[in-house]
Amino acid sequence: MIHAATFLLSLVGFPLLLLAMTRHQRDWLCRKLSPARCRSLRLSGFIALAMAFAVAGAGLGWGYGTVAWFGWLTIAASLVITVNTNRERIMPKVRP
C-alpha cells in the first residue's frame, strides 16, 4: 500500500513538472501558460514528490523508505517520458 501511494504521488508529481515547462505546454496544451501558472505547477509537482517521500519514509522507515522513494521516482519518471515520447500517437486520440 505504501509502495502504491509513493508511486502514485510520484506519478502525479512528474506530469505537473512536465507541464510547468514551456516546451511541453506547447506540445500538450497547444498554448503557453503564464509564468504564475508555471510556477504553481512546478511547486505542486515538487510538493507531490515531497509527499511521496514523506509517505515512503513514514510508512516504510526513513532508510528503507528513501531507497524505495528513489526507485519509484525512477519508475514514475520513465513512464512519463514514455508517454511524452509517444505524444504523436496519443494526442490524436485525446484531442481529435
Partner 1 sequence: MMAGTAPLKTSFRQSMANLHTWTGLLPGWLLFIIFLFGTVAFFQQEISGWMRPELPTGPTSSAALKKAERHLAARAPDAASWNISLPSLRGGDPLMLSWEPREGGGGKAGKMTLDPAEGREVRLRDTMGGWFLYRFHFDLRYIPWWIARPLVSIAALAMLVAILSGIVIHKKIFADFFLLRFGKGQRSWLDAHNVTAVLALPFHLMITYTGLVTLLFTLMPWAISANFPNEDAFYKAAYPAGPTLEPSGKAMPLLPLRQLVDEAERTWGDAKPSFISIANPGDANALVGLYAGPAKLGSYRPPLWLNGATGTQVQPLPVAGGAFVTQRTMIELHAGRFSGPVLRWLYFLSGAGGTMMVASGLVLWTVKRRAKLPDPAQPHFGFRLVERLNIGVIAGAPAGIAVYFLANRLLPLDMANRADWEINSLFIAWGAVFVWTLARPVKRAWFEALAVCAALYALVPVVNALTTTRGLIPSLFARDWVFVGFDGAMLAMAAACAFTAWKVATHKAQALPRRKARVVAEAAL
C-alpha cell belonging to residue 45: 509537482
Say whether residue 44 binds partner 1 (CB under 8 A). Answer: no
- Are 78 and 71 contacting, i.e. CB atoms less than 8 angstroms apart? no
C-alpha cell belonging to residue 23: 516546451
**Out of 43, 50, 81, 91, which residue is the one contacting partner 1 (CB under 8 A)?**
81
Residue 40 or 84 with smaller CB distance to partner 1: 84
Quote the least distance from Cβ 93 to partner 1, whole Å: 19
DSSP-derived secondary structure letter, 34: P
Helices 22-29 & 2-19, crossing angle to 10 degrees?
90
List of residues contacting partner 1 (CB under 8 A): 3, 14, 17-18, 21, 23-24, 61, 63-64, 67-68, 70-75, 77-78, 80-81, 84-85
